[in-house]
Chain A
């Protein structure tokens, strides 16, 4: 399979590329070209598969078509794409700084949608393929600590649900992944160690869900029931929890 990973410097993306294994051709796309080179060498050595890199900034909209062309040129066709990019900016900072706030909205949501449009088109023409979006459990119910970030994730959730409906029967599959708290650079120092899970475990779950053509997964699995509880919490109780 020919697979594209956006935001390939993140630790979940790295674990995912290692998980995908040796029969596939993987394109790592991201901004930090030196790091992508290191990652590609590592993944190539460990899995024995073919790995290419493309420097790509999802926020740069003019490059989207060029990026798709580059991917098709390298791979022939694209079977799957993972959207692993994402930024998390502290709520207070995002409220103060419009530029930062907008860039978070853009990278986490709007730019993903625009890029996805092009790839959906490509996959629909071939009648096969999958798109995998990394959302988050926090998208299920916004909280005060990261309200804007949660909103971008909720937007992705709604978008992927709609996309699944639109793509039903077309052969193209869209997967929504809601990871809990993962031990990455994003969460480093923010949470207690015992609620974090390793990127490897998350990548493992994601790849399994892709192969089984699931629609929406929580990873690790217990977040599904945890979030069901939190979604169901009455507002007067929910507003008391403000940590």
Chain B
């Protein structure tokens, strides 16, 4: 296979690194990859925010063309597909047949391989768990060039290491997932305005089991004075009877919104405190209706039709600060974090809150744990990373952890505090990949691979 020299970055556009890219068109080509590469990481659609899918000056295996659906069992909703199939593809395929994704992260444009390697979660994490709960089987290309099928029964240690394993255990070639049967493509959504942190957590505690989906949009620019100004967004899959006439005609095939591709021309100051402040206010006040039936795209992916929205942050890019904090400390943490951003005058352009639970079975490096996950998008500048390191110390103090998929700035010591099962993971990696064929910039930065 030919290699192409490319400049790659994660979705946050930082860091930007060069890589030798390989792109197999079929599984048989991908299977040969271990024989002619000694330092490689798989990359799907490049939606991880930091350097999880980068491999500075080494090989990157781009899996976007491994996107074939293999089989679908209509009565049970079990789908087998190759790793490069995107969640959007799956929705497009399965929704007309009455199935939907059991777990949807905030964008549909991620590959199945990426969803497994990052163990993504959605706004039903506190009830259903993360994506891995619906993965039955993984076909993994391991370091010795052999394809191993792992599942909860077979090779279970490898299965749980691959889930959330950031592609460091091997290359995911195929996976089998279970889909969720739905009656319509619409969501019975409920938007509640909330003005402060205490009220937010009160509402969350009271309502978290009422609906299938619960999340909160936070006004990141609200500052410490209005910290917690937010919209509580809840929803259930709408039943057929709930739809109005026009929707009832096509209950499973709603019209798609037109895609808009954002050009790469914006200076880094396009999104600034003023513009984002205005946008946030608009977003907050727009939801005047309290309950209504909305299309699934609008509920799960409000910006799903804006392609390349990361370009709005300009060349400097942005950092995503994604942490999960146990319930007890969550309210204080949210207040503190917003105060911290306010003090250091760090503008925060997008912030979300989701609820999480602990699962008995979880990937060794899975992010979620019982508590509240908070996500902040911060435009990058040079001081930001050192400031965030200070915040990381607080997160450790609250017994929280940061997501590795979003991470571009953690230190090796942070990782050891936040992920207690790291040693088990590294031991397993040592066993199945002694030569460290699978490595990424993130793994090297965090000291998961001896230099």
Contact = CB atoms under 8 A, between A and B. Distances in A.
Contacts of A35: 26-28
A189 B20 CA distance: 9
Given A45-B69, A45-B93, A46-B93, A38 B27 contact: yes
B68 A41 contact: yes
A10 B65 CA distance: 11
A189 B68 contact: no
A39 B25 contact: no
Nearest to B89: A46
Contacts of A10: 25
Nearest to B72: A45
Contacts of A39: 68
A42 interface: yes
Contacts of B3: 189
Nearest to B70: A41
Given A35-B28, A189-B4, A41 B69 contact: yes
Contacts of A42: 68-70
Contact of A188 (B2, B26, B70, B82): B2
Interface string A179-194: 0000011001110000
Interface string B35-69: 00000000000000000000000000000010011
A112 interface: no
Given A41-B69, A42-B68, A42-B70, A11 B5 contact: no
Contacts of B5: 189
A55 to B, nearest CB: 14
A51 interface: no
Given A45-B93, A188-B2, A189-B5, A11 B28 contact: no
A46 B69 contact: yes
A98 interface: no
Interface string A33-67: 01100110110011000000000000000000000
Main secondary structure of the interface of B (DSSP, over half): mixed
B258 to A, nearest CB: 17
Nearest to B29: A185
A223 to B, nearest CB: 22
Nearest to A186: B2
A108 interface: no
Given A32-B28, A45-B93, A188 B69 contact: no
B76 to A, nearest CB: 15
Contacts of B65: 11
A38 B26 contact: yes
Nearest to A191: B4
A34 B25 contact: no
Contacts of B82: 38
Contacts of B28: 32, 34-35
Interface in B186-231: none
A89 B47 CA distance: 35
Contact of A41 (B1, B25, B71): B71
A16 to B, nearest CB: 15
Interface string A5-37: 000011100000000000000000000101100
Interface centre among A9, A35, A188 (most CB of B within 10 A): A188
Contacts of A38: 26-27, 68, 70, 82
B311 interface: no
A44 to B, nearest CB: 9
B295 interface: no
B23 interface: yes
Contacts of B21: 189
A42 B66 CA distance: 11
A194 to B, nearest CB: 11
A56 B115 CA distance: 37
A92 B50 CA distance: 41
Interface string A158-199: 000000000000000000000000001100111000000000
Interface in A48-93: none
Given A46-B93, A189-B2, A9 B26 contact: yes
Nearest to B2: A189
B393 to A, nearest CB: 41
Nearest to B81: A42
B49 to A, nearest CB: 22
Given A32-B28, A45-B93, A188 B68 contact: no
A68 to B, nearest CB: 26
A36 to B, nearest CB: 10
Given A38-B82, A45-B72, A188-B4, 8 more contacts: A9-B25, A41-B69, A42-B69, A45-B71, A184-B25, A185-B25, A189-B4, A189-B21
Interface of B: 1-5, 21, 23, 25-28, 65, 68-72, 82, 93
8 contacts: A32-B28, A35-B26, A38-B27, A41-B70, A45-B93, A188-B2, A189-B4, A190-B2
Closest A-B pairs by Cβ, 9 of them: A189-B4, A42-B68, A35-B26, A189-B2, A45-B69, A185-B25, A42-B69, A38-B68, A188-B2
Interface of A: 9-11, 32, 34-35, 38-39, 41-42, 45-46, 184-185, 188-190
